[in-house]
């Protein structure tokens, strides 16, 4: 029978199940297909830190939320419209995120006594009347998957692992998605195991056909393509964009890239991505610890390579002394911090913005270095290139901040034209010509000298350098001079930074100031407020130290300033201290990104106050 087709502007779907149920893969495939079909989107992978928590438990629930639309999408969605729950625990953990009258597609086969007990249910929520405000579809996903694969004589565990593709096929049908890109992906992914190719495709087609034939679903949905700027797009995560940005920068400056890294969540994917790019002149070194990782990158920089190290907050703590060493030696280095919940081990797989103070102040001695922050997954590409440009131009280490939300989240990325990239000028000093290892150019940067250059041999240790010569110096006046020289060099970068952009009126009742991954939620909230007639604007900072030179004048142009951030008020403190600006804080440290509605509610409160 023909099903009714409804056109939606957007829809938010959350796939949830055990860590071993393949929910991240399922969500990623739905996301990739939606990107291919021209939708704008934003994603929120949400998974536990445990490698494999006990099956069926609340702690073992893994989720993947994606918001797709036919217009601009800024966030993964405040609440989901559809929840695919593969077991009772997935339902219990995620039900609070489901919109009233939302759709629940529940794997009925998993709602057995043992799993109900693990999830803390006394009786099945599918039958006790507790879900009456939702539209519940009970689907025997396990049994239907087994029936679809019955002829293949596969082991029971293998069949069970295919049930996520049945769920994916059903959601593909429900939202009018094309299965062919995923079929091609399956054939490539499992090319060494033909049985799994056949099984996964069969399970997915069975789910798709179930949606088509069952009378349970009377309606299917379409989300038309978004009107995005013309060009070629790909779906990209923040970590992938950052890795590609670093490689692009290495080619624009003509230097081979060296990554010294120690695996740490959520930064490890950058190491994985760059290790695949040997054909672009990339060298990756998985060090025995964080200190060895950063020191190897400094050594590569000394030798004339582009030195990079990647980590998260705990790793930055360990790298601190070596980062000061890079400040003292004035060598270009990019330190990438993919922030996570802290302190200590904290929340390894959850997001946070709690390392801003650490980035600016977290070293002994006077050790200033520029601090940048990416604002979206795609922006990680641009900010990686910018970090390299500043590091090589000013001969200084640079910190680039991202976080777990940006790192694992994804969005469509308009592929840039490489021909339009500006070259990053790097000029090694090859002859003395009256210059010394610590001579200064117009930017107060010392020359970059490869070791062994005749007549320009110099010491490279962490003891204070004599101005110009670079010789060891304990002279009090020289130390004072060098401390201020290094400080002024970094602060002078502000003169060339682009002005901080303001979305909305250039003056008004309220300015919302953000940095990093809060961009999407703030922009969505401000757009909503402006549509209702509120005089609200948005300034998002990508350069945090030094800040753009127009920040002070922008802040003074509004009656009130609101700063939402995923910490206890670190940017708010910087704005107060640097500009003496009274700011109102909105802080969230739950390991989760802001919802737009949370910022909208605070804006309403501030404007009424």
- Residue-wise pLDDT for 161-219, tens only, equals 999 999 999 999 999 999 999 999 999 999 999 999 999 999 999 999 999 999 999 99
| pLDDT attached to residue 1 | 62
3-state secondary structure of 263: coil
Q: Nearest to residue 48, comparing CAs of 85, 17, 3, 84? A: 17
Cα–Cα distance for residue pair 400/543, rounded to 1 Å: 10
CA atoms within 13 A on the CB side of 187: 6
Element (H, E) at 78: none
User: DSSP letter string over 493-509?
Assistant: GGGGSPPPPEES-SSEE
How far lies 567's CA from each of 341, 383, 537, in Å?
Answer: 9, 22, 22
| pLDDT attached to residue 55 | 87
Q: Exposure pattern of 309-347 as b/e (b: 16+ CB <10 Å)?
A: bbbbbbbbbbbbebbbbbbbbbbbbbbbbbbbbbeeebb
Q: Across-strand partners of 565? A: 587
What is the percent of the chain where pLDDT is above 90?
A: 97
Q: How much is the average pLDDT of 560-583?
A: 98
Let me know: does 412 contact 234? Beta carbons within 8 Å: yes
Strands 333-339 and 306-311: parallel
Cα–Cα distance for residue pair 373/369, rounded to 1 Å: 13
Q: How much is the average pLDDT of 468-495?
A: 97
Cα–Cα distance for residue pair 486/493, rounded to 1 Å: 12
Let me know: does 72 contact 28? Beta carbons within 8 Å: no
- Residue-wise pLDDT for 22-69, tens only, equals 999 999 999 999 999 999 999 999 999 887 778 899 999 999 999 999
252 has pLDDT over 70:
yes
Least confident of 136-150, 160-174, 454-468: 454-468
Mean pLDDT of the chain: 97
Cα–Cα distance for residue pair 359/363, rounded to 1 Å: 8
pLDDT bracket for residue 578 (50, 70, 90) = very high
What is the percent of the chain where pLDDT is above 70?
A: 100
116 has pLDDT over 80:
yes
| pLDDT attached to residue 320 | 98
Cα–Cα distance for residue pair 236/414, rounded to 1 Å: 10
User: pTM of this prediction?
Assistant: 0.96
Dihedral, CA atoms, 475, 481, 485, 491, nearest 10 degrees? Answer: 130
Cα–Cα distance for residue pair 583/580, rounded to 1 Å: 9
- Residue-wise pLDDT for 1-29, tens only, equals 688 999 999 999 999 999 989 999 999 99
What the chain holds in terms of domains, given with CATH numbers, is 4-223 (3.40.920.10), 234-414 (3.40.50.970), 427-496 (no CATH), 502-608 (3.40.50.920)
Angle ∠(86,90,92) on CA atoms, nearest 5: 135
- Residue-wise pLDDT for 522-554, tens only, equals 999 999 999 999 999 999 999 999 999 999 999
How far lies 191's CA from each of 24, 61, 183, 187, 399, in Å?
Answer: 21, 29, 12, 5, 41
Please give the structure tokens belonging to residue 17.
């199940």
| pLDDT attached to residue 53 | 79
Tell the residue number behind the tokens 């009258």, with chain if given. Answer: 101
Maximal CA-CA distance, the chain:
89
Burial class (CB within 10 angstroms; exposed 0-12, middle 13-18, buried 19+) of 138: middle
Cα–Cα distance for residue pair 590/379, rounded to 1 Å: 24
Please give the structure tokens belonging to residue 379.
């922006």
Q: How far apart are the first and last CA of the chain?
A: 57
């Amino acid at each position: 029978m023909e099903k009714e087709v409804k056109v939606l502007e957007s829809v938010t779907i959350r796939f949830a199940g055990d860590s071993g149920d393949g929910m991240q893969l399922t969500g990623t495939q739905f996301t990739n297909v939606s990107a291919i079909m021209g939708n704008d989107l934003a994603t929120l992978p949400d998974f536990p830190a445990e490698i494999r928590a006990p099956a069926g438990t609340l702690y073992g629930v893994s989720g993947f939320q994606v918001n797709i639309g036919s217009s601009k999408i800024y966030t993964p969605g405040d609440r989901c419209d559809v929840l695919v729950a593969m077991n009772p625990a997935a339902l219990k953990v995620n039900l609070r995120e489901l919109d009233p009258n939302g759709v629940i597609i529940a794997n009925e086969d998993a709602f057995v006594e043992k799993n109900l007990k693990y999830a803390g249910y006394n009786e099945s929520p599918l039958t006790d009347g507790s879900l009456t405000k939702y539209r519940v579809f009970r689907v025997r996903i396990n049994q239907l998957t087994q029936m679809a694969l019955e002829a293949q004589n596969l082991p029971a565990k293998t069949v069970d692992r295919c049930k996520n593709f049945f769920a994916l096929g059903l959601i593909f049908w429900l939202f009018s998605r094309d299965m062919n890109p995923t079929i091609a992906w399956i054939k490539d992914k499992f090319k060494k195991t033909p049985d799994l190719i056949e099984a996964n495709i069969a399970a997915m087609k069975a789910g798709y056909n179930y949606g088509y034939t069952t009378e349970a679903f009377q309606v299917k949905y379409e989300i038309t393509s978004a009107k995005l700027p013309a060009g070629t797009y790909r779906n990209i995560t923040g970590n992938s964009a950052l890795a590609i940005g670093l490689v692009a920068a290495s080619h624009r400056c003509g230097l081979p890239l060296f990554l010294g890294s120690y695996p740490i969540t959520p930064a490890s994917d950058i190491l994985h991505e760059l290790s695949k790019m040997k054909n672009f002149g990339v060298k990756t070194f998985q060090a025995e610890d964080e200190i060895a990782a950063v020191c190897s990158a400094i050594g590569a920089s000394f030798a004339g390579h582009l030195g990079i190290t990647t980590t998260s907050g705990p790793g930055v703590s360990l790298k601190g002394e070596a980062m000061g060493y890079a400040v003292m030696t004035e060598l270009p280095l990019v330190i990438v911090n993919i922030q996570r919940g802290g302190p200590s081990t904290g929340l390894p797989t959850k997001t946070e913005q709690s390392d801003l103070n650490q980035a600016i102040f977290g070293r002994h001695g006077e050790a200033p270095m520029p601090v940048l922050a990416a604002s979206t997954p795609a922006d990680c590409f641009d900010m990686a290139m910018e970090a390299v440009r500043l590091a090589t131009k000013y001969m200084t280490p640079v910190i680039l901040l991202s976080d777990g939300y940006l790192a694992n989240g994804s969005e469509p990325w308009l592929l840039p034209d490489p021909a339009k990239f500006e070259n990053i000028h790097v000029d090694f000093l090859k002859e003395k010509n009256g210059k010394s290892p610590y001579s200064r150019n117009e930017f107060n940067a010392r020359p970059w000298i490869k070791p062994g250059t005749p007549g320009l041999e110099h010491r490279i240790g962490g003891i204070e350098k004599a101005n110009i010569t670079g010789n060891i110096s304990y002279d009090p006046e020289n130390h004072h001079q060098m401390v201020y020289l290094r400080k002024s060099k970094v602060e002078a970068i502000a003169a060339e930074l682009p002005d901080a952009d303001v979305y909305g009126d250039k003056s008004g009742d309220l300015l919302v100031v953000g940095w990093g991954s809060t961009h999407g939620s703030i922009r969505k909230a401000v757009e909503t407020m402006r549509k209702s007639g509120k005089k609200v604007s948005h300034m998002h900072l990508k350069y945090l130290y030094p800040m753009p030179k127009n920040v002070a004048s922008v802040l003074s142009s509004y009656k009130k300033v609101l700063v939402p951030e995923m910490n206890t008020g670190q940017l708010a403190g910087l704005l107060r201290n640097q500009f003496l600006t009274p700011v109102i804080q909105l802080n969230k440290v739950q390991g989760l990104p802001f919802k737009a509605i949370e910022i909208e509610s605070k804006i309403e409160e501030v404007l009424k106050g």
